């Protein structure tokens, strides 16, 4: 039952594919040297250098698990276990770079189907083990580990496209299917999901559903939970199938128990999604607004009164400045990226331009839009470069109704600046808009003269308190995990928490599935 480190999907101590790493843009590197007192970080420990204590699984448990998934799909080596012990938050990466693995799984299992997942969960209950679902390993909220002895349930073998219904425009995707592969398989049928979050290169279909993922094309295609029409979920009590027909009024929609549940109630193994024809045209462009407030008004107008673009992304003055520095521009103001995709976009591009010009926008042409589209997956790699240089970089996000958004923006910035060292950068953008509100996505860059993890914990807690006080939600698309759990429980209140605990007891009476995530253990 030995394994190679190839069983893990995500990189170690950094984001994604090391071959895609790139140096900091010259302008950003120069700014870093001028603003921050940083020293290059020490060389990170490599995954191959990490040695974990041997697995403590007993022979009876090992034999039972191997009988379910096959001995070749049960991995006990240090590299595989360490690689499945964390996600991709900056604290996760800093611990990995230091060679620290606080809570490693006792084994990594790769089941092949829903029945095997159910059998594994039942076996875990019999042997006093927990099971943590693992897709692309991109969680940034502590959703992939627990101090309880546990198994990492790697879903990579659930990687197939099932039935495609071109009449209903639906497709069945297994949960371990990576997003790029899903798009490739759908493209063979002339179809697309249109779901492209920043984690797109590595995240999986099941992870999108379990976290209520929201992609960069959400203004046009909707969030991932808008796309889900049915689910298959494996629980220790058996498999559950939801979504018999669209828009059913037959009682509460059980899909909602599992969308956003982060594996706390069961393991999503199959997702039936709404798909659409691959768009024939795409047009991305940039617009400049004098202020974040003016740009937000323009974004709200399009979200409420149309025409609604496929992509709508507004950077505040500070993010626009840093982006311009990295790209060699000096536009000033606030940059709004507007993207349209469809069969024929010329008319809607023209109407959108008329609306934005009437609201004070200045057209910048297709250059900024195409530049953003070409580099939209770069930010996590940029974070790696900042960490290598000795800086600290991390993100957090929230959402609120339009009327509360200005106050939320100001409150979170103030909380962060109060808690962070001086100097620090706090950048923000709106990337997901709705008729009633929008998200705010903050990026922090700073340096710590003390323990970085302790310092960020303090700053993040201050930001979370500001979010709750200002009427925002603790997460728009990153999820709850363990890091947001205490604030999430305050958000839903004691009665809401009790209702979810009752669901947990019914579906998972022995607390096998992802204990501590979403709800206390």
Measured between alpha carbons, how far is 71 from 69 in angstroms, rounded to an integer?
7
Measured between alpha carbons, how far is 14 from 30 in angstroms, rounded to an integer?
22
Q: What is the pLDDT of the chain when averaged over all its residues?
A: 94
pLDDT of 1 above 50: no
Residues 366-378 have pLDDT tens digits of 999 999 999 999 9
Domain boundary among 327, 350, 375: 375
Q: How far apart are the first and last CA of the chain?
A: 31
pLDDT of 4 above 50: no
pLDDT of 262 above 60: yes
Q: What is the pLDDT of residue 288?
A: 97
Q: How many domains does the chain have?
A: 3
Mean pLDDT value across residues 78-102: 96
For residue 29, being part of any structural domain is answered with: yes
Interhelix angle for 379-389 vs 26-35, to 10°? 40
For residue 467, being part of any structural domain is answered with: no
Phi/psi region, residue 5 (left: phi>0; alpha: psi -120 to 50; beta: rest), is alpha
Mean pLDDT value across residues 418-434: 96
CATH code, 237:
3.30.465.10
* SS3 state at 488: helix
Mark whether 23 and 129 lie in a shared domain: yes
The band of 331, judged by pLDDT with boundaries at 50, 70 and 90, is low
Measured between alpha carbons, how far is 344 from 174 in angstroms, rounded to an integer?
32
Higher pLDDT, residue 498 or 27? 498
Q: Domain range holding 363? A: 281-375
Measured between alpha carbons, how far is 296 from 433 in angstroms, rounded to an integer?
10
Neighbour tally for 273: CB within 10 Å = 24
Mark whether 169 and 137 lie in a shared domain: no
Give 121's DSSP letter: H
Report residue 303 as tokens: 């979200």
Q: What is the pLDDT of residue 330?
A: 53
For residue 73, being part of any structural domain is answered with: yes
pLDDT of 495 above 70: yes
Domain boundary among 154, 172, 188: 154
Helix ranges (DSSP H) in 232-345: 255-258, 292-305, 317-327
Report residue 372 as tokens: 């953003």
Mark whether 248 and 299 lie in a shared domain: no
Q: What is the pLDDT of residue 10?
A: 53
CATH code, 368:
3.30.70.3450
CB 151 within 8 A of CB 105: yes
Mark whether 338 and 355 lie in a shared domain: yes
pLDDT of 7 above 90: no
Mark whether 302 and 241 lie in a shared domain: no
Q: Taking Cα atoms as reference points, which of 185, 173, 3, 168 lies closest to residue 79?
A: 3
pLDDT of 334 above 90: yes
Mark whether 12 and 129 lie in a shared domain: yes
Mark whether 126 and 51 lie in a shared domain: yes
Residues 107-153 have pLDDT tens digits of 999 999 999 999 999 999 999 999 999 999 999 999 999 999 999 99
For residue 333, being part of any structural domain is answered with: yes
Strand duo 150-154 + 130-134: pairing: parallel
Lowest mean pLDDT across 188-197, 234-243, 319-328, 370-379: 319-328
**400-410 burial, b if ≥16 CB within 10 A, otherwise e?**
bebeebeebbe
Percentage of residues in the chain having pLDDT higher than 90: 89
For residue 51, being part of any structural domain is answered with: yes
Domain boundary among 154, 175, 202: 154
The band of 3, judged by pLDDT with boundaries at 50, 70 and 90, is very low
Q: Taking Cα atoms as reference points, which of 188, 262, 273, 328 lies closest to residue 516?
A: 262
The band of 332, judged by pLDDT with boundaries at 50, 70 and 90, is confident
Q: What is the pLDDT of residue 325?
A: 53
Mark whether 207 and 258 lie in a shared domain: yes
Mark whether 123 and 179 lie in a shared domain: no
For residue 306, being part of any structural domain is answered with: yes
Residues 10-55 have pLDDT tens digits of 589 999 888 888 788 887 888 788 888 788 888 899 999 999 999 9
For residue 436, being part of any structural domain is answered with: no
The band of 193, judged by pLDDT with boundaries at 50, 70 and 90, is very high
CB 227 within 8 A of CB 171: no
For residue 48, being part of any structural domain is answered with: yes
* pTM as predicted: 0.95
Mark whether 17 and 148 lie in a shared domain: yes
Mark whether 128 and 15 lie in a shared domain: yes
Mark whether 195 and 268 lie in a shared domain: yes
């Amino acid at each position: 039952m030995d394994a190679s480190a190839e069983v893990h999907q995500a990189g170690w101590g950094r984001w994604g594919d090391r071959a895609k790493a790139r140096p900091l843009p010259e302008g950003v590197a120069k700014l870093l040297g001028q603003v921050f007192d940083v020293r290059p970080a020490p060389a990170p420990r490599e995954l191959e250098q990490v040695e974990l204590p041997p697995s403590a699984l007993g022979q009876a448990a090992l034999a039972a698990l191997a009988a379910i998934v096959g001995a070749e799909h049960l991995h006990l080596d240090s590299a595989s276990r360490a690689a499945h012990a964390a996600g991709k938050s900056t604290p996760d990466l800093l611990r990995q770079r230091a060679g620290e693995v606080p809570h490693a799984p006792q084994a990594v299992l790769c089941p092949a189907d829903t029945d095997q997942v159910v059998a594994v969960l039942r076996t875990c209950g019999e042997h006093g083990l927990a099971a943590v679902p693992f897709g692309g390993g991109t969680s940034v909220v502590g959703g992939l580990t627990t101090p309880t002895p546990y198994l990492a349930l790697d879903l990579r073998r659930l990687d197939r496209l099932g039935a495609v219904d071109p009449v209903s425009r639906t497709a069945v995707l297994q949960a371990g299917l990576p997003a790029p592969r899903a798009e490739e398989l759908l493209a063979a049928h002339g179809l697309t999901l249109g779901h492209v979050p920043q984690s797109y290169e590595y995240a999986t279909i099941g992870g999108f559903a379990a976290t209520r993922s929201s992609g960069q094309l959400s203004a046009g295609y909707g969030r991932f939970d808008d796309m889900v029409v049915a689910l298959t979920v494996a629980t220790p009590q058996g498999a559950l199938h939801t979504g018999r027909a669209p828009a059913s009024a037959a009682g509460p929609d059980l899909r909602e128990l599992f969308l956003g549940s982060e594996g706390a109630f069961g393991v999503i193994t199959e997702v039936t999604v709404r798909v659409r024809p691959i768009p024939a045209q795409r047009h991305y462009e940039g617009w400049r607004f004098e202020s974040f407030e003016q740009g937000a008004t323009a974004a709200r107008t399009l979200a409420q009164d149309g025409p609604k673009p496929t992509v709508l992304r507004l950077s505040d003055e500070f993010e626009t400045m840093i982006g311009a520095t990295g790209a060699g521009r000096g536009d000033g103001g606030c940059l709004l990226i507007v993207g349209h995709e469809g069969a024929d976009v010329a008319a809607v591009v023209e109407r959108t331009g008329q609306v934005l010009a009437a609201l004070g926008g200045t057209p910048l042409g297709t250059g900024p839009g195409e530049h953003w589209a070409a580099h939209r997956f770069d930010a996590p790699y940029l974070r790696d470069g900042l960490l290598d240089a000795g800086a600290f970089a991390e993100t957090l996000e929230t959402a609120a109704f339009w009327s509360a958004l200005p106050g939320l923006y100001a409150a979170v910035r103030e909380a962060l600046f109060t808690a962070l060292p001086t100097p620090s950068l706090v950048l923000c953008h709106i990337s997901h808009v709705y008729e009633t509100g929008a998200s705010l996505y903050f990026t922090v860059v700073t340096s710590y003269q003390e323990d970085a993890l302790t310092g960020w914990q303090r700053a993040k807690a201050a930001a979370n308190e500001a979010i709750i006080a200002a009427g925002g939600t603790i997460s728009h698309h990153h999820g709850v995990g363990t890091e947001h759990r205490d604030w999430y429980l305050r958000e839903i209140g004691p009665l809401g928490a009790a209702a979810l605990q009752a669901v947990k007891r019914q579906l998972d009476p022995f607390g096998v599935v992802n204990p501590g995530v979403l709800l206390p253990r």
